[in-house]
Structure 1
Amino acid sequence: MKRTVYFFVYFCLFCRLCNAQEVLKNQNIITLVKAKIDRGLILDKIKASPSQFNMSTNGLVELRQAVVPDAIVDAMLLASSPLPTLRNQDIIDMYQGGVSRDVITKKIQYSETSFSLSTDDIVALKTARVPDQLVKVMMIPKRAQQQSTNPNLIAGALPEHPETLPIAARSRFAEPGIYYEEYKTPKPQYVQLEPTTTNQTKTGSVGESVAGQLTGGITGTSRRVGLANKSANMVVEDNRPVFYLVFSGGRKVMNEVAESVFDGVASPNDFVLLRTKVSGRGREFSVGNQSAYTSETGFAAGSVPFRFKKISAQLYKVYFEQDVAAGEYAFLYNKGSEFTSSLKIYDFSLRNNTK
């Protein structure tokens, strides 16, 4: 009886907390931007809160007039589903309303579309001064379907990275870490990936448990590490991203615990890049498998091969020989003895036009 009463009390408290949670709307975001709240904090709030954003053509024009940054508008678009069906007049109204070309492109990606692109329609778009690049995006008939299968897909061709690191850029690495080469600006910028740690270790699943019972433990159970959010704060738009790994001058034996990773790692060989699996609860990746006969640790599942080039004793360029599929990724320090402790992770969302 007491247990039933406690459950009822806890259930009521839970319902009250859920009802009290703020539902975000356009005006909430505008208020936060006008109050000069840190952009990262606003993005986190969008990801963590329920929302009812108005992402219609008029809603996007309103956000533009309120000078809401494109990165925040993009997060609002991703949080809004389904989006209104787009037609030619929407593109004209958004462009003439001052909405940036990048936001319009993403709105096309994320929405169902019903464009009319006859000769007369293209002339009408040209008369309305809609850029040719946007018209080209409108001509991709299956973009909305591709977007629904992978929310990180973007449209349009992407330029190539510089072949070599500019000499002047080497002084921009203020501290050891992993830096992404943002190459779409007039001068390449080098953006540091912020580390995060997690010890949300999960063992097995319902399916693995049933299979284990039926096979006497032969199939085994997996050990996974989870991340709370469905996407990383760091967003990279690239088909073949280029990173620079900056190490300190010191070197220590690999048996030592590397809480300060870049003070002890010898080369990019000590890292692994994983594509994380996105679920309703966030992201996760496997760190091992244990059965009645074997026990394995490592990151074979989901690992992505990369190449690297040594620039100096402390600086390495990491690159890819093939396009990398859009998705959620993370660099991890690949040390088996630390799989059971908190892991240092450098995660990023990769958005591109490659599935």
Structure 2
Amino acid sequence: MFKSICLLIGLTFTVATAIAQEVITNESIINMVRAKVARDLVLDKIKASASRFNMSTNGLIELKQATVPDPIVDAMMLASSPLPTLRNQDIIDLYAGKVSREIITKKIQYSETSFNLSTDDIITLKNAKVPDQLVKVMMVPKRAQQQSANPNLIAGALPPHPETLPIATRNRFAEPGIYYEEYKTPKPQYMQLEPTTTNQTKTGSVGEAVANNYTMGITGTTQRVGLANKSANMVVEDNRPVFYLVFSGANRKTMNNVAESVFDGVASPNDFVMIRAKVSGRGREVVIGRQSSYTSESGFGTGAVPFRFKKISNTLYKLYFEQDVAAGEYAFLYNKGSEFGSSLKIYDFSLRNNTK
């Protein structure tokens, strides 16, 4: 047993040493992009390797000219610390070099800055056709931190929800489902979250697969499901959203055909979980389990956001939060591992507010 453990440790050390031997540069990334290496594999390579990237203004322009995708450039900047100090001319050169506004904004976020923004300097930026949005970020660099860290952040406080559901509304929900209480209008409106069914199950990343193979399954892999697009169609502006779950009155406690008709077979809100999705260059992802040689876990643990609920009637529940919920991408999911093999009924929404 001791010899086996030593062998596994030795294999892991050998793999880590082999990966660390190569120091990757801008040229390494450009060569992989030109060879049409998958984006996820390039990102895993950046995470697993020592690097010496040139993240100067000229370096970023060179990457743009080589058509390196923005998510890869972002990962390269995150792997490079410290970044060169930014000045006005850098912003002018980056924009003239057709570097995207998103990357320029993130460059401001990740760097020390020394901007001059006198009247004459602003006129110079305007003459160089630098967009007003970037000039505003240069005026308040912290704005870039908020925009880059979470695109769903908005300014200003939001009013609280009504204390109770109006009696006249209780029996007027059109059908079973999840409804958001839109309360900023004179009379609260109840907006139904449309379900999205996905079976796009993914098992681990390339990096996880390599480590799992060389450690004979000790490190394990994660199981995830993907959602198209970086944000949901349903947009909610709220610090503490309130939802109502409306169940079917017939056979509510019979777990029948859940994947096809969730609200005909769910016992209570305890059968649901609200998850914060991870946004990537390819859309959104939710972790639904993890498996290794020694453990196998199903269910939504990573990114789960606890909520409270109150029973209003036999088929109606109010869902609420005791603390502000950070801006981001979220989804309600039916939390029964036995259903994962068929399809997942997902009720997704974008939450925009002033809470990080």
Q: Normalising by structure 1, report the TM-score.
A: 0.61
Q: 1:168 and 1:115, CA in 2 relative to 1: closer, same or farther beyond 3 A?
A: farther
Instruction: Check the 8 A contact 1:180/1:243 in 2, yes or no.
Output: yes
Instruction: Check the 8 A contact 2:101/2:134 in 1, yes or no.
Output: no
Instruction: State the Cα distance separating 1:341 from its structure 2 match.
Output: 1.4
Deviations 1:92-148 (A, max 9, x none): xxxxxxxxxxxxxxx99x7551799xxxxxxxxxxxxxxxxxxxxxxx873343122
2:255 and 2:157 map into 1 onto residues whose CA distance is 45
Tell me what 1:295 maps to.
Answer: 296
Instruction: Check the 8 A contact 2:307/2:322 in 1, yes or no.
Output: yes
Alignment of 1:1-355 (within 5 A): 81=102, 112-113=135-136, 142-252=142-252, 255-258=255-258, 259-355=260-356
1:329 and 1:83 map into 2 onto residues whose CA distance is 27
Instruction: Check the 8 A contact 1:111/1:144 in 2, yes or no.
Output: no
2:204 and 2:312 map into 1 onto residues whose CA distance is 42
Percent identical across equivalent pairs?
A: 76
| 1:256 match: secondary structure | coil
2:315 and 2:287 map into 1 onto residues whose CA distance is 30
Instruction: State the Cα distance separating 1:335 from its structure 2 match.
Output: 1.1
Q: 1:144 and 1:112, CA in 2 relative to 1: closer, same or farther beyond 3 A?
A: farther
1:295 and 1:114 map into 2 onto residues whose CA distance is 46
Q: Bigger CA drift: 259-268 or 227-236?
A: 259-268
Instruction: State the Cα distance separating 1:292 from its structure 2 match.
Output: 1.5
- Aligned amino acid, residue 316 of structure 1: Y
1:174 and 1:80 map into 2 onto residues whose CA distance is 43
Instruction: Check the 8 A contact 2:137/2:144 in 1, yes or no.
Output: no
| 2:158 match: secondary structure | coil
| 2:186 match: secondary structure | coil
Q: Normalising by structure 2, report the TM-score.
A: 0.61
Instruction: Check the 8 A contact 2:253/2:267 in 1, yes or no.
Output: no
Q: 1:217 and 1:112, CA in 2 relative to 1: closer, same or farther beyond 3 A?
A: farther
| 1:142 match: secondary structure | helix
Q: 1:324 and 1:162, CA in 2 relative to 1: closer, same or farther beyond 3 A?
A: same
| 1:113 match: secondary structure | helix
| 1:172 match: secondary structure | coil
Structure 1 consecutive aligned stretches of length 4 or more whose deviation exceeds 4 Å: 79-84, 252-255
- Can you give the 5+ residue segments of structure 2 that lack an aligned partner in the other structure? 1-99, 106-116, 120-130
- Aligned amino acid, residue 208 of structure 1: E
- Aligned amino acid, residue 142 of structure 1: K
Instruction: Check the 8 A contact 2:223/2:288 in 1, yes or no.
Output: yes
Q: CA RMSD in A?
A: 2.7
Instruction: Check the 8 A contact 2:331/2:346 in 1, yes or no.
Output: yes
- Aligned amino acid, residue 261 of structure 1: V
Q: Bigger CA drift: 332-341 or 230-239?
A: 332-341
- Aligned amino acid, residue 276 of structure 1: A
Instruction: State the Cα distance separating 1:172 from its structure 2 match.
Output: 3.4
1:115 and 1:167 map into 2 onto residues whose CA distance is 51
- Aligned amino acid, residue 311 of structure 1: I
Q: 1:279 and 1:114, CA in 2 relative to 1: closer, same or farther beyond 3 A?
A: closer
Aligned positions, number: 234
Instruction: Check the 8 A contact 1:172/1:190 in 2, yes or no.
Output: no
Instruction: Check the 8 A contact 1:83/1:112 in 2, yes or no.
Output: no
